[in-house]
Amino acid sequence: MSDSHDRPSAVDRRLRVTRLDDLERIQATDEGLWRPIRRALGITAFGVNAYTAPRAGEPVIERHDETGTGSGHHEELYLVVTGHARFRVGDEDVDAPRGTLVFVPDPAVTREARAEADDTTVVVIGGRPGAALPVAPFEYWFAAQAPYHAGDYRRAIEIVEEGLQAWPGHGTMHYQLACFHALDGNRDAAVAHLTRAFAADDRTREWAADDTDLDSIRDAIPA
């Protein structure tokens, strides 16, 4: 029987916090220092680590692709959090000062980076292509806001309908589609989506009570 101290506390399960400066700097290869974020926090949904080059001119990301025996076959996002890096991805050079994000979706593409400034650190987030789906529902209705505010209701509809493929019964998505269709003059579609929204999420009835987006179908709103 394991000691109770070996089991994560309620706080551990709810929240874990660390700082880059508190992570180990491990000379795992001849190129750059490995900073084990995923292991330190016990993350299981995706890979995330950091690499640091103490001095300008040194490698910060070793030359590699994501198909080798030590790789996760991941698509990878690189975020430069300190210093300044220069990436070589395939046959392209990318200047990457602090705050730059470099995304490499193809695991077979070779990538590497060299520090352009002392103490350059790059955080790397990776996962197998498609493995983390479905995307969180909010991304679709957030993404639809720009065309909605621009009056491009057809584009807003297309974005949220894409989300319905992964979240077919989602009340908020159906509610948004009801609004967009109502604004676009698609009365039957608007009523159909509003009916599904009411069935999936009681809050949508409250939203509909004074939502001017639905004024064109006000007489047909389900009881």
Domain residue extents for the chain: 4-127, 138-220
Widest Cα–Cα separation across the chain: 71
Query: What distances in angstroms separate CA 214 from CA 70, 146, 179, one per listed residue?
Result: 55, 19, 6
What stretches in the chain show pLDDT beneath 50? 1-8
The number of angstroms, rounded, from the C-alpha of 179 to the middle of its chain's C-alpha atoms is 26
The angle subtended at Cα 217 by Cα 212 and Cα 223, nearest 5°, is 100
**pLDDT number for residue 3:** 44
Give dist(CA 214, CA 223) in Å, integer.
14
Give the model's pLDDT for residue 28: 75
Q: What's the confidence (pLDDT) of residue 212? A: 97
Name the superfamily (CATH) of residues 138-220: Tetratricopeptide repeat domain (1.25.40.10)
Name the fold adopted by 4-127: Jelly Rolls (2.60.120)
- DSSP β-bridge partners for residue 134: none
Per-residue pLDDT at 77: 98
The angle formed by the CA atoms of residues 111, 112 and 118, to the nearest 5 degrees, is: 155
How confident is the model over 47-86, as pLDDT tens digits?
999 999 999 999 999 999 999 888 889 999 999 999 999 9
Based on its alpha-carbon atoms, the radius of gyration of the chain, rounded to whole angstroms, reads 24
* pLDDT of amino acid 12: 67
Listing DSSP states for the chain in one string gives ---GGGSPPHHHHH-----GGGS--B--SSSSEEE-HHHHHT--SSEEEEEEESSTTSEEEEEE-SSSTT----EEEEEEEESEEEEEETTEEEEEETT-EEEE--TTS-EEEEESSSSEEEEEEEE-TTTTPSPPTHHHHHHTHHHHHTT-HHHHHHHHHHHHTT-TT-HHHHHHHHHHHHHTT-HHHHHHHHHHHHHH-THHHHHHHT-GGGGGGGGG---
